[in-house]
Amino acid sequence: MAGVNGCIKYSMFTFNFLFWLCGILILALSIWVRVGSDSQGILNSTNVSSSSHVAADILIAVGAIIMIMGFLGCCGAIKESRCMLLLFFIGLLLILLLQVAAGILGAVLKSESDRIINETLHDNTELLSTTGESAKQFQQAMAEFQKEFKCCGLINGAADWGNNFQQHPKLCECVDTCTIYNGTQVYKEPCISAIKDLLAKSFIIVIGIAFGLAVIEILGLVFSMVLYCQIGSK
């Protein structure tokens, strides 16, 4: 019996150490999704940022909590503390339930989120043709995005830039897959599709992390409860 208990104890410790490492990985990936996206400069200049990064913000918090929970589980396993193991179990269960609730809420609000993103991008098309100081940050971010992703404008191509295109004719200049606008070869595709693709990829990364995390959490619940019961039976 002691051998079985020892096996469970050290398996639990190993699992929680890996769980702690997973917390670090989730925290790092979530921060990368939150601040390292290629579209970040554009999103920071619009209202899309607040709605598109909510999931990443939640995972940043979850990653930090998991690091703490992993440490708590390791201590509970090594010291064979039923109190620590119970706290670990309850905390892990709450995190899992919150993830399920967030997933359901995200699925229900997905169409609404897509609508808000579309409306916001359409509304901010006007920023490309204005000359005010408030629009310069967005225009600069958009120019860099166009160059990297070989697109032009947000919705209607080069026409979105209005009179600003005449002042900066090299904004959308290209050498292949081009169309002619005001006598200049420019990228044919507007950038709205590229922005949506980047948001979708970030969302997929977040969903993948969440599903992988759920599997790990379920294993953690099983391990902790088994060890909790084994310690109680001594």
Per-residue pLDDT of 6-17, as tens digits, reads 676 677 778 778
The answer, yes or no, to whether residue 97 has pLDDT greater than 80, is: yes
pLDDT in tens, 35-81: 655 455 555 554 444 444 666 677 778 788 888 888 877 787 777 77
Average pLDDT, the chain: 77
Give percent of the chain with pLDDT exceeding 90: 0
The SS3 call for residue 161 is helix
Distances from the Cα of 162 to the Cαs of 70, 99, 128, 129, 192, in angstroms?
55, 45, 7, 5, 17
Q: What is the 3-state secondary structure (H, E, C) of 96-125?
A: HHHHHHHHHHHHHCHHHHHHHHHHHHHHCC
How far apart are alpha carbons 234 and 226 in whole angstroms?
13
Identify the CA nearest to 66 among candidates 37, 28, 107: 28
Encode pLDDT of 102-127 as tens digits.
777 777 777 777 787 788 788 788 88
**What's residue 82's pLDDT?**
82
Residue 11, classified by CB atoms within 10 Å of its CB into exposed (0-12), middle (13-18) or buried (19+), is middle
CB 121 within 8 A of CB 195: yes
Q: From residue 82, how far is each of 40, 94, 234 by CA, in Å?
A: 46, 18, 12
For residue 173, the 8-state DSSP code is: B
What is the predicted pLDDT for the residue at 16?
78
| 156: pLDDT strictly greater than 60 | yes
Q: At residue 194, does pLDDT exceed 50?
A: yes
Q: What is the model's pLDDT at position 3?
A: 45
- Of 56-70, 80-94, 154-168, give the lowest mean pLDDT range: 56-70
**Total Cβ atoms within 10 A of residue 117:** 20
**pLDDT at 8 (0 to 100):** 66
Q: Which two tokens stand for residue 108?
A: 């229900």
Task: Determine contact, residues 171/159, Cβ cutoff 8 Å.
Answer: no
pLDDT of residue 213: 79
Intra-chain end-to-end CA distance of the chain, in Å: 9
Q: Can you say whether the dihedral through the CA atoms of 113, 56, 61, 13 is positive or negative?
A: positive
- pLDDT confidence of 4, banded at 50, 70, 90? very low
> Which tokens hold the place of 97?
């339930």
Residue-level pLDDT at 1: 45
pLDDT at 42: 58
205-220: average pLDDT:
81
